[in-house]
Amino acid sequence: MTSIPEIDVESVKNLIDSDEEVFILDVRETEEFELTNIGGTLIPLGELPDRLAELGEHRDSRVVVLCRTGGRSAQAVSFLLGCGFSKAVNMRGGVHAWSDKIDSSVIKY
């Protein structure tokens, strides 16, 4: 089994704060995103194959994928890598890790 490339939340925060190009993709469900999010674009994991064209302009960009704790986003990264998004990475720990280490106002659920 191929390992999924990961990035920690501190590194994601640094990327967001820098001028480096990064695309944040949240693959949780709409209700979860509305409850709490760190920004980015919402495309639920189950809709990703049908909505892949929406990400076309980001194929060569660093794409940071997140979910609640990292499981669904790992699946999404695996899919994206197979579709040619060579810089897709999983945000380790998801919004829970973000809440723990970056911004406690992000709700854990």
**pLDDT tens digit sequence for 36-92:** 999 999 999 999 999 999 999 999 999 999 999 999 999 999 999 999 999 999 999
Residue ranges and CATH numbers for the domains of the chain are 6-102 (3.40.250.10)
- Annotated catalytic residue within 67, 77, 80, 95: 67
CA distance 41 to 24: 6
Distance CA 85, CA 11 (A): 19
| Alpha helices per DSSP H over the chain | 9-17, 30-35, 71-82, 94-101
pTM of structure: 0.95
In terms of Cα–Cα distance, which of 13, 70, 66 is closest to 44? Answer: 66
Whether residue 83 lies in the annotated active site: no
Three-state DSSP class for residue 9: helix
